[in-house]
Structure 1
Amino acid sequence: MLIRAADPVMGLVAFVAIGMVDVSSCLIGDHVRPGYRLTKGEELGCFQSGGSSECLIFRPGVIGGSTLAAIPQPGDADASPVRVRSRLAVAG
């Protein structure tokens, strides 16, 4: 799904819903149609049966920096968990 942000710096943002394995599904709300204007925090849809994720893809140069804790640290047993609703990156 392509979302045109109101902020011209953000421009187009791609949203990819990922239903993992064969037990998960991604449902996009009936109200979300081409040309629909989303508001901040509005629900796009939902995941069913768990095991799903999402990916946001930004144009080059939109993300000005990311939080170190948000970058995976393979093999680091002491890596801190990233809490829900934590800042992951900053656009700008």
Structure 2
Amino acid sequence: MSNIKNELKEVVEVTMLPEVEAYLEDLLKLLENNEATEDDIEAIKEMESFMVELQNIVESINTNQINDTQASEVYDKIMTLIDEHKEH
């Protein structure tokens, strides 16, 4: 497996998935306590979809269905998301 694929897989598994799961858990607690707003409910749907996308990225790497160029593009997008999140 190439270096960029390893880096992408690591950032997804170590950083992105745990962050999304934690945020989703917080949102689901709001829903369970009947404290969720419409925005929270929409965020739950978006985070669930995003988590599936992240899992699909890992699966694509594991099954070699993504090339280095694609992996690099996805990695760059994810790093941009992480940088934007740090700024807020």
- TM-score w.r.t. structure 1 length? 0.25
Q: Which has the larger helix fraction?
A: 2
Q: Which has the larger strand fraction?
A: 1
| Structure number with higher relative contact order (C-alpha < 8 Å, ≥ 6 residues apart) | 2
Greater Rg by CA:
1
- TM-score w.r.t. structure 2 length? 0.26
